Structure 1
Amino acid sequence: MKEAITHLAKDQILKTILEIHGHPIIQKRDEGFAAMCHIILEQQVSIASAKATYQKLENHFGEITPENILNAEDAELRNCGISRQKTLYLKDLAAKVISKELDFTTFNQKSESNIRAELLKIKGVGNWSVEVYLMFCLQSPDIIPLGDIAIRNTIKELYSIHTVEDMEILAENWKPHRTLASYILWHHYLKKRNKI
């Protein structure tokens, strides 16, 4: 962590965020099916809203397993606050795990690119969802989720950079610690909006 902070502090803007707000909280989530369900629920909604839906799901089933999700009536999932679209995504994920097409327990033996390719086969899962899984569940050290609106808006605000291509070029300077840089940017975004 110290080496990563030293490297990122060469960027004056990141250094200033660290000086003003201190170090960000590094999240660690469990790996596996339930974690991926949670990430799907987080797509395009607030963290608080997704968490509430996930808790309803957990309360309803006791445990979020592929079998519970796949065998659930759509109405059951709707009562937990899950949209028709996300019901399709969760059921596709569950089916892939049950059929062994997707096995989360093998991820620790696979490359990041292989994991990315496997997760992208899930209906409704794009780069943002994959990057959140890599960052939070697998603790991958060098991810910058430019599909994340808070990250993009913070880069626009602090660096006056407006295209994703230019953001990618900026983030090259943060390698191989782009995940920590992302946490620092999120930290600024949340602190500025009094969400921490």
Structure 2
Amino acid sequence: MGAGLMPVCRLPPYWAEACTHLIERDRVLCKLIPQTTHAGLQSHGDPFVTLVRSVIGQQISVAAAQAVWQRFEKLLPQFEPAALLRLRVDEMRAAGLSARKVEYLVDLALHFDSGHLRPDEWPGMDDEAIVKQLVAIRGIGRWTAEMFLIFHLLRPNVLPLDDVGLIRGISQSYFSGEPVSRSDAREVAAPWAPYCSVATWYIWRSLDPLPVAY
């Protein structure tokens, strides 16, 4: 994949049904969904690119992550694990990556390059089995694995309770800005199933109208 390739908007086949479900069952989403002009998840269609972008985006703002990504992808005309492994550490650091994230990306590339990860098997696996496989990689925690489920595999029912944006959006839209616990968030999200990923996407849009891509 060329470094300049833009993400392709892929509207999952369940999207319209999910929106109808959420509009009928949630007082906030029944207003938010019709007001949102962008609709659909954006995916590069490449598991390695998706995971690299997720690692880059850890613990920094969306704007900062995008800036680092744009500098980093220029280093790789062919965005492949073997090409990343040929980069020098100082090149990656100059793109804005921390030393720890450089280590994480190298380990991720090694897992792909060695064949320890089998992306061809993921479509047939359930969400938790994929999360378990991914979190075994250094630097990939549950949040990163769940972003992968949402943005690459387009799984419909992921509720990323470790996502700061989701918790903040629930706080603002359902609790007038008051602090929200994980149990509060689960209670709010109960009517969203089996389309928690779609609901989460719209809650993100309530904070930032521009979709995030991984």
Partner of 1:70: 85
Point out the more displaced range, 66-75 or 82-91: 66-75
Equivalents in 2 of 1:15, 1:51: separation in Å? 31
The offset of 1:145, in angstroms, is: 1.5
Higher relative contact order (CA 8 A, sep 6+): 2
Equivalents in 1 of 2:20, 2:111: separation in Å? 42
Q: Structure 1 segments of 4 or more deviating over 3 A?
A: none
Q: Larger helix proportion, structure 1 or 2? A: 1
Whether 1:165 aligns to 2:183 is yes
Partner of 2:114: 99
The offset of 1:7, in angstroms, is: 1.6
Equivalents in 2 of 1:149, 1:124: separation in Å? 18
Partner of 2:68: 53
TM-score normalized by the length of structure 2: 0.82
Partner of 2:192: 174
The offset of 1:115, in angstroms, is: 1.2
Equivalents in 1 of 2:38, 2:189: separation in Å? 18
What runs of 5+ residues in structure 2 fail to find an aligned partner? 1-14
Point out the more displaced range, 42-51 or 138-147: 42-51
Equivalents in 2 of 1:64, 1:48: separation in Å? 21
Equivalents in 1 of 2:21, 2:121: separation in Å? 32
What runs of 5+ residues in structure 1 fail to find an aligned partner? none
The offset of 1:68, in angstroms, is: 2.0
CA contact (8 A) 2:50 2:151 kept: no
TM-score normalized by the length of structure 1: 0.89
Whether 1:145 aligns to 2:160 is yes
CA pair 186-96 structure 1, distance change in 2 beyond 3 A: same
Equivalents in 1 of 2:192, 2:74: separation in Å? 41
Whether 1:22 aligns to 2:36 is yes
